[in-house]
């Protein structure tokens, strides 16, 4: 019997969970994970905070997909550049888009494009040594964070940490130096909703009580009769008065952004509150208000014309999963259920065609980095880690490619 051939675009959590589910149900399948980066695991490597290494441990589970379940990694291949969607659809029985959402959602208010405004995605990519990152910016002494989700709290925590609190992380020397010398004195974090409905998880808030160099002030946390909401408020209020150092952190709630003010760069942000308008002076604005597609793939068109968008069926033989399908919501484990349901659907619809060439169309691409190439990068990063870090991430794509390939030649 001909084994079905499935291409998954994106080797982040959703692509990996999908490959895992497909191969568990049907080990004979040929499952290929294609990623624009020479390294797998998407936001596990470039979004999950450098000081949350436990969360990144899921990568060990994903490695088994390649090492034991027979999936193949085709890194350094961008759909839309080295290979087209049409070419994949011609070569494979099923194609799945699991390409995530990497663009920061813009602050669509007057002044929303002033210099001094930075998206959380751009900042975290730069902090975590993403090869396509822009340099870390000058935040000035008073950055203001817009957003109340876990990504906003990650940013706040990293900005507030002392150098010794980053031991054991994989934060590189450039980011470490930037955090040490950026001159931040006061961080204000603002949310549109009241504290009761803030999107952050309580556990993320509780972690802030361990910070060793900050003084935390909480304003307007409010109250709620609802037990879950009351717990959230209680966690935030427990931070009020935490005083272990000079760097000031202020939590504000119920502030709807109206405008960013400044001539040549940000000087303040104006908000609507229940009491009227309020202007908060700041030297930079960090937005953590969600993500959208980068435009390489026509996501909106594909989803608008989808056969069954809720189930991830875009068209016969073409599927979508993870953040690319659902939008920028949900943690790593939340992508698993999505992937399991889609795997069942794909297997029910799969009609293998023996004439489809499958992975042959990728193996010949000069750009391609395979799984063993990634393991060489991985081993090098771990072997060269300084004593106070768990790995020394390579930021340069050229250097990654050199490592992945140089030893290949000497095999
Ligand atoms: C800053 C940040 C911190 C987070 N922290 C946590 C956390 O601590 N814990 C937690 O549970 N969740 C966290 N999350 C959420 C978690 O990262 C997501 O749920 C998860 O990564 C979504 O998986 P995905 O595979 O859909 O997308 P991604 O992880 O983004 O993976 C998409 C992959 O597709 C690739 N790709 C994109 N376009 C193309 C293309 N054209 N061709 C080929 N490849 C392409 C990308 O390189 C990437 O590897 C965080 C998210 C962010 C943004």
Quick one: pLDDT at residue 406? 80
**Residue 49 in this model has a pLDDT that exceeds 80:** yes
pLDDT tens-digit map of 365-393: 999 999 999 999 999 999 999 999 999 99
| CATH architecture for segment(s) 106-286 | 3-Layer(bba) Sandwich (3.50)
Pocket test for ligand 1, best of 87, 99, 120, 339 (most atoms within 8 A of CB): 99
Among 3.40.640.10, 3.20.20.10, 3.40.50.720, 3.30.420.40, name the CATH number for the domain at 5-101+293-405.
Answer: 3.40.50.720
What separation, in Å, do the N-terminal and C-terminal C-alpha atoms of the chain show? 35
Nearest-CA residue for atom 20 of ligand 1: 332
Q: In whole angstroms, give the CA distance from residue 349 to residue 158.
A: 46
Is the beta carbon of 8 within 6 A of some atom in ligand 1? no
Task: Note the pLDDT tens digit of each residue in 166-214.
Answer: 999 999 999 999 999 989 999 999 999 999 999 999 999 999 999 999 9
Residue 295 pLDDT level (bands cut at 50, 70, 90): confident
- C-alpha 102 to ligand 1 mean position (Å): 8
User: Which protein residue has the closest C-alpha to ligand 1 atom 13?
Assistant: 331
Instruction: Pick from 21, 41, 42, 204 the residue to mutate for probing ligand 1's pocket: most ligand atoms within 8 Å of its CB.
Output: 42
405 alpha carbon – ligand 1 mean position (Å)? 26
User: Residue 70: CB within 6 Å of ligand 1?
Assistant: no
CA 338 to ligand 1 centroid distance, Å: 14
**Residue indicated by tokens 């109340």:** 148
Task: Establish whether residue 78 lines the binding site of ligand 1, counting it when its CB lies within 6 angstroms of any ligand atom.
Answer: yes
* Tens-digit pLDDT profile for residues 130-175: 999 999 999 999 999 999 999 999 999 999 999 999 999 999 999 9
Q: Where are the domains of the chain?
A: 5-101+293-405, 106-286
Q: Which two tokens stand for residue 338?
A: 């999505």
Whole-model pTM: value is 0.96
- Residue 374's contacts (CB-CB under 8 Å, 6 or more residues apart) are 38, 39, 40, 73, 75, 404
- Kindly give the number of the ligand 1 atom that is closest to the alpha carbon of 77: 43
Tell me what the pLDDT averaged over the chain comes to.
Answer: 96
Instruction: Render pLDDT for 229-240 as a digit per residue (tens, 0 to 9).
Output: 999 999 999 999
Give 45 Cα–ligand 1 centroid separation in angstroms. 9
| Number of other CB atoms surrounding residue 302 within 10 Å | 19
* Between 296 and 113, the higher pLDDT residue: 113
Q: What is the structure's pLDDT at 299?
A: 95
pLDDT score for 1:
62
pLDDT confidence of 259, banded at 50, 70, 90?
A: very high
C-alpha dihedral sign at 86, 87, 89, 95: negative
Mean pLDDT of 250-269: 97
Question: So what's the pLDDT on residue 310?
Answer: 95
Q: How confident is the model at residue 53 (pLDDT cuts 50, 70, 90)?
A: very high
Separation of 234 CA from ligand 1 center, angstroms? 31
d(CA 2, CA 357): 12
């Amino acid at each position: 019997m001909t084994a079905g051939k499935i291409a998954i675009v994106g080797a982040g959590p959703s692509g990996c969970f999908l490959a895992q589910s497909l191969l568990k149900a049907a080990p004979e399948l040929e499952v290929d994970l294609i990623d624009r980066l020479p390294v797998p695991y998407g936001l596990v490597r470039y979004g999950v905070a450098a000081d949350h290494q436990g969360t990144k441990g899921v990568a060990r589970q994903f490695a088994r997909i390649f090492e034991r379940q027979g999936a193949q990694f085709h890194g350094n291949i961008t759909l839309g550049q080295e290979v087209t969607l049409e070419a994949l659809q011609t070569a494979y029985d099923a194609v799945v888009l699991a390409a995530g959402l990497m663009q920061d959602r813009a602050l669509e208010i007057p002044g929303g494009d002033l210099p001094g405004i930075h998206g959380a995605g751009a900042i975290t990519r730069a902090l975590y040594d993403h090869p396509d990152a822009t340099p870390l910016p000058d935040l000035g002494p008073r950055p203001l964070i817009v957003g109340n989700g876990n990504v906003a709290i990650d940013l706040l925590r990293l900005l507030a940490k002392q150098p010794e609190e980053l031991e054991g992380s994989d934060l590189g020397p450039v980011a470490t130096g930037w955090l040490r010398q950026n001159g931040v004195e006061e961080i204000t974090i603002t949310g549109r909703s009241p504290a009761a409905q803030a999107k952050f998880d309580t556990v993320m808030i509780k972690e802030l009580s361990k910070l060793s160099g900050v003084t935390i002030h909480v304003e307007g946390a409010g109250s709620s009769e609802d037990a879950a909401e009351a717990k959230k408020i209680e966690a935030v209020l427990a931070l009020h008065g935490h005083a272990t150092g000079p760097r000031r952190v202020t939590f504000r709630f119920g502030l709807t952004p109206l405008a960013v003010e400044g001539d040549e760069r940000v000087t303040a942000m104006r908000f609507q509150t229940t009491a009227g308008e309020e202007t908060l002076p700041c030297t930079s604005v960090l937005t953590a208000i969600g993500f959208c597609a980068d435009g390489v793939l026509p996501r909106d068109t594909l989803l608008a014309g989808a056969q069954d968008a809720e189930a991830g069926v875009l068209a016969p033989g073409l599927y979508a999963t993870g953040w690319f399908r659902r939008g920028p919501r949900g943690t790593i484990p939340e992508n698993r259920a999505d992937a399991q349901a889609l795997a069942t659907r794909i297997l029910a619809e799969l009609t293998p065609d023996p004439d489809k060439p499958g992975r042959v169309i990728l193996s010949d691409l000069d750009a391609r980095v395979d799984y063993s190439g990634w393991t060489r990068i991985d081993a090098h990063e771990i072997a060269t880690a300084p004593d106070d870090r768990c790995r020394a991430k390579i930021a340069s794509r050229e250097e990654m490619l050199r490592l992945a390939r140089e030893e290949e030649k000497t095999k």
